[in-house]
Amino acid sequence: MSKRPNVGENIALLNENDVEMGTADVETHFTNNKRLKSFDHSTLSEPLNSINLIPSNDFVKHKTTGYASSTQDTSAKGLTNANTVSSFEKELQTMANISPSKAKTPNSKLNNRQVWSRKPLPLDFDCSTHDISFQQLDAEEATVSGFQDNNTSAVVRFFGVTDEGHSILCNVTGFKHYLYVPCPPEFDASSHNVEQEIASFLKSLNDQYEREAGKIDSIKVVLKQSIWGYSGDSKLNFFQIFVKEPYTIHKLRTGFEKGYVQYNGWYSQGCTTYDNIAFALRLMIDCGIVGMSWITLPKGKYRMVEDPMDKISPVQLEVSINYKDLIAHPAEGEWSKNAPMRILSFDIECSGRVGVFPEAQIDPVIQIANVVSNQSENKPFVRNVFTVNTCAPITGSEIFDYAKEEDMLMAWKKFVVEVDPDVMIGYNTSNFDFPYLVDRAQALGLHEFPYFSRLYHSRQKIKDAVFSSKAQGTRESKTINIEGRLQLDLFQFLQREYKLRSYTLNAVSAHFLGEQKEDVHHSIITDLQNGDSETRRRLAVYCLKDAYLPLRLLEKLMSLVNYIEMARVTGVPFSYLLSRGQQIKVVSQLFRKCLQIDTVIPNMNSQGSDQQYEGATVIEPIRGYYDVPIATLDFNSLYPSIMMAHNLCYTTLCDKQTVDRLKLVKDKDYIITPNGDIFVSSKLRKGILPEILEELIGARKRAKKDLKNETDSFKKNVLNGRQLALKISANSVYGFTGATVGKLPCLAISSSVTSFGREMILTTKNAVEKKYSLENGHTHNAVVVYGDTDSVMVKFGTTDLKESMKLGTEAALFVSGLFKHPINLEFEKCYFPYLLINKKRYAGLYWTSPEKYDKLDQKGLASVRRDSCPLVSIVMNKVLKGILIERNVQGSLDYIKQIIDNILQNEIDISKLIISKGLAPDYTNPQPHAVLAERIRKRDGMGPNVGDRVDYVIIGGNGKLYTRAEDPLFVLENNIPIDSKYYLNNQLQNPVVSIIGPIIGEKKAQAMFVVKSIKITTGKTGALMGFIKKVETCKNCKSPLRNEPGPLCRNCASKTTEIYLKSLYEVRDLQEKFSRLWTQCQRCSGSLHNEVLCSNKNCDIFYMRVKTKKELQDKSESLSQW
């Protein structure tokens, strides 16, 4: 039987006998009960009793695994009541049954202990007889003191995993960093004494930088072309200057650019330097290594570090090799595979104080849950919880409990080192878990704790970071260095890749996995910890699931696979994808291509520009509701296609002087873009950007073809991730050229691309309308009702969907013939019916086949926007479904009227009224969510950070809007009235009118929202309540009471029994409703035997439960007055 909800100590669940009681008995029944306690957050759950910490002699030490209680079995056998196992625990048991990694460990008292460490190297392994092939995961530069190879102590460290699952650190040595500067006009490369001149210049440079530990090593004269501008086929002389240590490059580059370098009058005015790129990426480019690719170390060519005293890393293989001896494999064919990377997902729980968010300097870490899996496996082979104080067993998992927090933290650190994960994931680990662990260890004086990377002597440190981009805005975050282990915070990943209303773990789990989880408020965690081993077990299960869900999300969204393929396509290390923006991906591809064709890239030192260029054309929409098919014609990869078709590139950009000097012929040797810029044709020089785009698009076609033929599900996911990465990379090339704050901005390219695009959209419109007309024998005149950037929407006039699709296909083929290859227009879909509201705002049924529509498609409407409340989305979707799918306009209008009535009568659940907006660092004017965030910070001791989304509702009152934003839970707890007028007129009216206006007329649509007056009930809190004298009123008719002995006025007193029983029934209905909600929450938490502790603010049930409980308390308190 399900555990009964503890609504409050005075609320008894009534049965039929209670209703049968007479008036006197009923009055006695209630007056004998105590009054309800005031409502606070703690009453959402049953109270928990505190106990003292267990004595230290209750623990037994185990080898490598820390401490486990000697009084309990940490295996699944320790469970005594199978009925208490939740659905999540059953899943854990299933994992334990199928886990391939179960084995008994020597000297361990645990049965079936999960194996943490990697399998050992073969006994016969020898570097002279064995090649090593490994997938490199990350690269970092370093300088090794006392070491020299090729006159440099600089190395690039590649951390990786072999195909057998062995971890490796490969130090690549002997590579020197370099830059290019153009040779001065006075320099004669053909002179007989050129070597002496170079030697003299080298000595001069070293003399000028004699204080630098790393001096200039050598200088070569090379023939190169600058990527910037076409000047014929001639190449120029450049000095290629090599340095002994990478950090010398920056000062050397600055010296040339600022005119500090002095030698025979050379460079006194400064000069442009070329090829400004990080040392590790320079080596990767020159060696043909791309991110997450495979490297082979031939036998006999590498040196293995075998003496433990010389090792710098806990990895199994620590080797060194000269950069000329390694073999880099392109990520194709058999080398497109992925090594069996170990993924550790973890979550921590902290014991905070009442009303204060946990602080690392004060509040302890009480539990750390961990799950470890191999990338190619679906289920984790390690599942455990490290906990302070005893904890009852969890099926399929290991418990390691400790008397002291310090012991628990150090044991977890040892666990991480022994498991040796390649990837560490979690949810908000970057901003919370990692910083809290490091700061807490510092507060406890655990100086050996922050050393869990793959470098023994590298201390993990937390740094503040700010990520800013035009697309994603500004977000404050923290970073931690964990050398050799990739970090993927699923919270940050989702913020970057998906636009969601809420980013809580609960919300994203519901959205992507289709399941909710129990969300324990931080104020309750301390009560659970201070309870007994069973309450700590419940907290451990909660913590363990929070560690498991990021792993589920990682698999579901293919986050790791997609990022691996992006690193391979763009050539950058995996870590760049998380810490750097979009530009470095294009820069990497540019440098790789330039290396092949003896081209160098100038260091532009761009500081940004106010110069703007005209964007894409948007054909003015012919607004309205279309009950005929609307064919949509789309250009495939429009901007990349334009760049390829017209050979638009840095290397093909030309000026009038060069045209005249080289006697170039217009339209044969060069073109003038609609924007007025000049580019030479591919006959003279094929542009680098068009070549890169051709390779990306060609590779994507191959990946999509392989995807169709592949049968292995994991390989299919890899190929799908690859084709997505190739698509994104191709589309980002255009944006790179238009970024005025960037590595290589060129508005001549970006503005020319958009000018061609505008011209093509207008050409398409005119061509379609001219060809498909009455004068050309067609039954209707075709009309382009809308066009936007890369697509046009055509009304051919026919009511036959199949005919419209046929005409669309024919028109796309016709228009494609008007443009240069590879520009291609294709028919994609029909909308039928179609509601065109405004630019970039429309909805319609999406058809790719005349037999059945694919979906209800919406663009730019409030139903798909995050800055409106869920009620808007619900109403919009319902109305659109009624109009477009059911074709029932009147039914939709009736539904709208009902919703308006519900709003006015305050019958809409508060969860549907919550507005969510991202918090920016600053605002010109006060914003509701920003003002509320500051109020929450003052009220609760903590608040949302920059980049977080803030949930709020608008409450009644006469103050400015930004003063009336409030936390939804605070509103419920304090019975604060909602501003119905705001939701009616500012949230719902305009979106709904935009839909129904084109159908019934604007005036009729607006008239539906005309309300003469709105009654807002006064809340029980607020500044004015202290000056208002409360007047007792009749419980039935609300008339003021005048010395009446009971709760009813004289007119209603004759109906006492009837009125009381009615109130009694109302209380019973609320009790039943609350019991149903409680049971629903218990099912969600996975057990019908535990109290409900969940405070998931993204769940409708949570707000219903809080509201029902509040109503029940108020009704019961009112009833107790009889």
CB 321 within 8 A of CB 170: yes
pLDDT averaged over 10-residue windows placed end to end, the chain, 1122 residues: 39 36 38 32 32 33 35 35 57 68 36 80 91 96 86 94 96 97 92 91 87 78 94 91 92 92 90 95 97 97 92 96 97 92 97 82 96 87 96 93 97 97 96 96 97 96 77 74 95 88 87 79 83 91 93 92 92 89 90 95 70 66 95 94 96 93 93 95 94 92 88 83 88 87 88 94 95 93 93 95 96 96 94 94 94 92 76 93 94 95 89 87 88 87 77 91 91 88 92 92 92 56 44 81 81 84 84 79 64 67 78 79 70
Cis amide bond preceding 550, omega within 30: no
* Angle between helix 1056-1085 and 1100-1119 (nearest 10): 150
Report pLDDT for 412.
Answer: 98
Coil, strand, or helix at residue 695? helix
d(CA 809, CA 633): 8
Pairing of strands 382-388, 398-402: parallel
From the DSSP assignment, how many helices (H) and strands (E) are in the chain? 30, 35
What does 22-87 look like in DSSP terms, one character per residue?
A: -HHHHHHHHHTSPPPPPP-GGGGS------PPPPGGGEEEETTTEEEETTS--SGGG---GGG--H
For residue 225, with 0-12 CB atoms within 10 Å meaning exposed, 13-18 middle and 19 or more buried, which class applies?
A: buried
Task: Tell me the residue length of the chain.
Answer: 1122
CB 1105 within 8 A of CB 1077: yes
CB 1024 within 8 A of CB 977: no
What does 210-274 look like in DSSP terms, one character per residue?
A: TTSSS-EEEEEEEEEEESSS---S--EEEEEEEESSTTHHHHHHHHHHHT---BTTBTTT----B
Tell me the sheet residues that pair with 402. Answer: 388
CB 650 within 8 A of CB 231: no
Domains of the chain (ranges plus CATH)? 20-37+1032-1119 (no CATH), 62-99+343-459+516-557 (3.30.420.10), 122-340 (2.40.50.730), 606-644+746-860 (3.90.1600.10), 866-1007 (1.10.132.60)
Report pLDDT for 617.
Answer: 66
Report pLDDT for 1.
Answer: 39
Give the tokens for residue 28. 């006695």
d(CA 762, CA 1016): 53
Tell me the sheet residues that pair with 788. Answer: 618, 791
Pairing of strands 216-226, 236-243: antiparallel
Secondary structure of 206-222 in HEC code, one letter for each residue = HHHCCCCCCCEEEEEEE
d(CA 821, CA 564): 32
Coil, strand, or helix at residue 149? strand
Cα of 254 vs its chain's centroid, Å: 37
Q: Choose among 105, 101, 115, 102: nearest CA to 62.
A: 105
Q: Choose among 340, 292, 379: nearest CA to 165.
A: 340
Report pLDDT for 867.
Answer: 73
Show Cβ contacts of residue 29 under 8 Å, excluding neighbours closer than 6 positions: 18, 21
Using alpha carbons only, what angle is made at residue 708 by residues 703 and 710, rounded to the nearest 5 degrees?
A: 85
Coil, strand, or helix at residue 463? strand
Report pLDDT for 56.
Answer: 35
Looking at residue 578, what DSSP letter applies? H
Give the tokens for residue 113. 């202990």
- From its phi and psi, is residue 282 left (phi > 0), alpha (psi between -120 and 50) or beta? alpha
> Residue written as tokens 């690719």?
293
Give the tokens for residue 568. 């391979």
Report pLDDT for 652.
Answer: 96
Question: Residue 356 is which amino acid?
Answer: V
Q: How far apart are the first and last CA of the chain?
A: 34
CB 649 within 8 A of CB 733: no
CB count in 10 Å sphere of residue 54: 17
d(CA 1114, CA 1108): 10
For residue 296, with 0-12 CB atoms within 10 Å meaning exposed, 13-18 middle and 19 or more buried, which class applies?
A: middle
Q: Choose among 597, 571, 481: nearest CA to 283.
A: 571
Report pLDDT for 15.
Answer: 36
Report the run of H or E that residue 136 belongs to, with start and end.
Answer: strand 132-143
